Structure 1
């Protein structure tokens, strides 16, 4: 019988360049690398038998990929789509599992606070949704819709009835405006608060520096060296921090911070200095406003809404202090804590830039509108549930 001739292979310059890159690339998977070698040998006019001997592949394998390339070009070197094993679970079963994951366990009388994949798998079998299912299968289904019922985030509804008014004043100050009028050059905005109970924890064994394939190691046991409060005033537009350490928080420590700032220029001779503070006991209510005005007539106290300290930019600075100065908290005594905080202030003031605050009054209105819609939907669902 006549022997079938091998398919002739002719490569363009672009194809040859691409095939060589695939054949000798370090990241090319092995099977694709061997297929490209077959094509490159075939392009040199070699027979299938010779290619099989030189590559160590079976003759049928050489014949297959030579023919695939001759018919389809470069795309022919990829594996064809396969039907795979028939699905074990129906689309309805998958949807029911996802729906179950989107309900709190308490709603189904299950004594759990949150679902985990093994617990969901057991509940699916208990509810006869499926005869059996593994936790990894449930995890794969949830991953398709980015569902992670084992995670949780805390949140709080707006409780301050004057939230819009108070928050918008602060947003305007960040944008250098007050009562619709732009601030003058000799008017400043200070964001102030206290970081309470910074402890001095003296570890019972020295902290070990990080090494190759090893994180920094901090001994778990420690001796308490006391605690202090760190008060800070942050100039929003100049990115300058004024801080002080006190034994505790209170009216007097806060007024000490105010005096520290207001007794130096440019704040002492400024037209107005706006002090943004939260509703902590050290500076709460009208009494705190009057106290500040009596001490410094050019100071204006502006309170954040209740439970809305996130509108106060000094909280961002405190988060930096927590990450870069306090954690993992290995101090011999409180003096070391004070020295570290003072040194960090100098370091921060030397290079800091104002925070890029992007939350505006328009964003505030959008947030309140979303919350109103959410509240209305929740009330409607509650009414339907009661009626049922």
Structure 2
């Protein structure tokens, strides 16, 4: 049933093996981030048999799917206090920055007779989650309070870079994280089990031999799924970028002009579109839209197709220059960037099929 996502599990396995080898070659444990494909059950089966250390996700609903797993489960998004009980029940570790929430996790862990592990997040300038790195007193005071809690274990510290502020991980900024870890260990006479140095944007440091030696964990999503590091968007050697292919059906094929007729306002999403005058063109409409994918981050496999735009349920293409004589009912294939993959696997209207 179209639209459908074709998932090549052989290519996914290749990427998983290569990423695991790369990350573990520098002494890091590996969290595989599963949110990018909405905790797909077939990929989960593969992960369960692999040598990864953590299944990591931002949604507790996805971590619930992994009940009974042999792997540790990590919640990536900062917890909501309102979900503390579920976090302790379904996650072995969570990323945190707020003491009020950590204390709620402590209460929940006490009621469940558990010890819950946390990573204290440090903001190195990307300006998403974490205590700002220059506020050393705030960091040390937070650690002091955490160490008083009976059912919380400070497993380590971590950082997130690139996702919001697009700050690129470097040896210089990740070394600041290591320095903070060392100050914590020295002041409180403890040993942190984990210094988590970021996500797929940190992978480029491995090839350059620039990952600080004390960084001992990475959280990898896009590099595993799409084969690229996310600092400079470079493909990694031996990995595939087409593990996931979106297929969608042509539902209309007409020759029309390329610029709308009449006064234009805003589109269905409140945007003021700008149209390129391409003259008279052959326009194909396919049955997939913004509710299902990020249309700005789709890549037609036919290089002579251009995406003109999208509404909720329709994607409009210019197929004028294509060497293929498309007709209504034909299928158009696309490679996906991360945002489109994320949305396609979340959509209830995109089916999945697997190559095994």
Q: What TM-score, normalized to structure 2?
A: 0.22
Higher RCO (CA 8 Å, separation ≥ 6 residues): 2
- Larger strand proportion, structure 1 or 2? 2
Normalising to structure 1: TM-score of the pair?
0.21
Q: Radius of gyration: which is bigger? A: 1
Question: As a proportion of its length, which structure holds more helix?
Answer: 1
